[in-house]
Chain A
Amino acid sequence: MASVEFQKVTKSFGTFNAVTDLDLAIGDGEFVCLLGPSGCGKTTSLRMIAGLETPTSGKVLIGGDDVTYLHPKDRQISMVFQDYALYPHMNLSDNIAYPLKVRGEPAGKRAARAKEVADVLKIGDLLDRLPSQISGGQQQRTSLARALVYPSRVYLFDEPLSNLDAKLRLEARSFLNHLQRDMGMTAVYVTHDQAEAMALATRIAVMNKGQIVQYAPPIEIYRRPATTFVANFVGNPPMNLVPVDAQIAEGVLQLRAQGLSVPGLPVTPGIAAAIGRAGRLTLGVRPEHLRIAADAAGPRLSGKLFANENMGPEKLVTVERPDAGRVTARIFTDDEIRLAEDVAFTFALEHLTLFDAEGLRIPLEGEA
């Protein structure tokens, strides 16, 4: 196991910068997810760790060694590909043992080790089959087995679960989490699925347009999203964002938007710095922190009922606010909920997050 580090790494394809000035340090034994929409540079970053892309400038370090220009074969890494990249002409045993074969291990030892890993992954009785003769989930586990068959310094995952159906994906996710706990491997995991990132990562690097927007443990990302981009990307459904007019009068902050009613809030230095005396802010509140208002008391956010989706243990209630923005609440109840056309949500003030005009989160009192 080893640490991984990006130092001022830029990768351009022609005039397009896939990754710009990336600085990222991944500790030994950490499981870091690179999370972001397609085209954000997360896969390119992963491929630079693998050596499949060479940075245009900057350095990539594995275990403190500069590997920027080292050939992939000399990096002692493993990688699970999105399309699995199983060799169609080899049976599973040969597929799994291929990394041992190129390292010159004798055939008997290779087969034994392949069997050992395959048994752990519950594909031990399929070793004579060809990749085309097994199911998608089994193919995925075969590619995982090939990555685990020899000790690597870093394990790389390029959206390994995105081709599985929903149920298998959950299973495979739990297994990866278990594996991480078991082996304490250094892993870099690329995904666009925030749930996967939340479930697996010790730290998440949220990327957008070739840069890291926030790099923090999952719970931190969830609780204190650094920008509206992160807020909107993490969470299922993501954080509700409501543009508001903000004004400081008589020492309290007044927030105004159609359908919103919030009492005056204390003015923190962060808020004062963000708006001066008045300005535009974005108010964020997570769907799971909204409740249906039973009476007229407390802060509220209201609109016309747009959708009421039953998810089993929870209901997703979406309303359309007068200025056409939508707000979704996760209501945890087993009971059917009957709603009038006008719906009001309420929430606790401590669950509010405020973002400035640039979309950066305004720190709370006492935060750095």
Chain B
Amino acid sequence: MRLSPSAFFARLGFSALAALIGAFFALPLIWFLFAPFNARAELGLALPNPFTLANFAQVIQNGFAMRGLLNSLIQAVGGVVLVGIAATLAAYALSRSSLPGKGAVTYVLLLFSSVVSGSAAMVPIFLIISAVGLIDTHLAVILVFAGGLLPTAMFILRDFIDSIPRSYEESAMVAGASPVQAFFDVALPVIRPGIVVVVVWAFVNVWGSFLIPFILLRSDELMPASVAIYSFYSEAGTPIVTLLAAYALLYSLPVVALYLFVSWKFGFRFFGGIKA
């Protein structure tokens, strides 16, 4: 197909503009990939020269920071397991049961959840956790995250389950399955793509959160990476860019790995079997 000159220049202009905008947004990412390997990294973008792994070597020797990554993992996995199980069961019940007012329940929960995990509720949360005696434990962080993320997770999952025909479970029950069997044999595998989405979302939320662990935890041994990253600031509060960049890259790897694993193993997709 031949383009007329005006259309050609219009497309050329559009492409140039798009490239410019793309480059603008890509710059921080490129810095993020280059700086960790640069012995003299600064805030400006530069090719690693000389290319080095010394930054990583130094970061790995920082026990507090490494311990932080492990703590992040404990808290994120704990939160995800709790949110995943509770949200699946609750969303399934909300979707399939004929409870009156179940819609209102979901919306009220959703409304409050944005308050619960928000900084506005930090004082009451601290007081509650302190009263329960869980200050400075992984469990405190996990529970607070679960409480904050559950309503939204339930909301997402309920919508997902609503879109799945009931005839799956109905056919299982007519075939002789109890409701529990029908749930585990048929409903759960069909809902799985929705659960995967919620799990990834919850993991990323806990993994990246700073305020809640910072407030609820006391001891260095329990601090997650989001807090530990501050050990790469000097006494005066200026970042040690080389180490910070290396640690940031390490810190982001588990999330990337999770995405890759999920899309390889489960895929963010849905499979058929119902004839519409």
Contact = CB atoms under 8 A, between A and B. Distances in A.
Given A84-B275, A103-B176, A136-B275, A98 B185 contact: yes
A348 interface: no
B271 A87 contact: no
A: interface residue count bin: 35 or more
B174 A50 contact: yes
Contacts of A79: 170-171, 174
Contacts of A50: 170, 174
B178 A87 contact: no
Contacts of B272: 88, 131-132
A71 B178 CA distance: 9
Contact of A83 (B167, B173, B178, B190): B167
A103 B172 CA distance: 12
Given A72-B173, A79-B174, A88 B190 contact: yes
Interface residues of B, number: 23
Interface in B223-243: none
Interface string A118-132: 000000000000111
A83 B175 contact: no
B118 interface: no
Given A102-B176, A102-B177, A88 B271 contact: yes
A306 interface: no
Nearest to A98: B175
A140 to B, nearest CB: 8
A83 B186 CA distance: 15
A167 B213 CA distance: 65
B189 interface: yes
Interface string B204-225: 0000000000000000000000
B189 A87 contact: yes
B274 interface: yes
Interface string A132-151: 10001001100100100010
A78 B190 contact: no
B101 interface: no
Most buried by B among A51, A84, A98: A98
A102 B175 CA distance: 8
27 contacts: A51-B173, A52-B173, A71-B178, A72-B173, A73-B173, A73-B177, A73-B178, A78-B174, A82-B167, A83-B165, A83-B275, A83-B276, A85-B171, A85-B274, A87-B189, A87-B273, A88-B189, A88-B190, A88-B273, A89-B190, A89-B271, A98-B175, A102-B176, A102-B178, A103-B176, A131-B272, A143-B171
Interface of A: 50-52, 71-73, 75-79, 81-89, 98-99, 101-103, 130-132, 136, 139-140, 143, 146, 150, 156, 163
Interface of B: 165, 167-168, 170-178, 181, 185-186, 189-190, 271-276
Closest 9 CB pairs of A and B: A88-B273, A99-B175, A85-B167, A85-B171, A131-B273, A89-B189, A72-B173, A132-B272, A102-B177
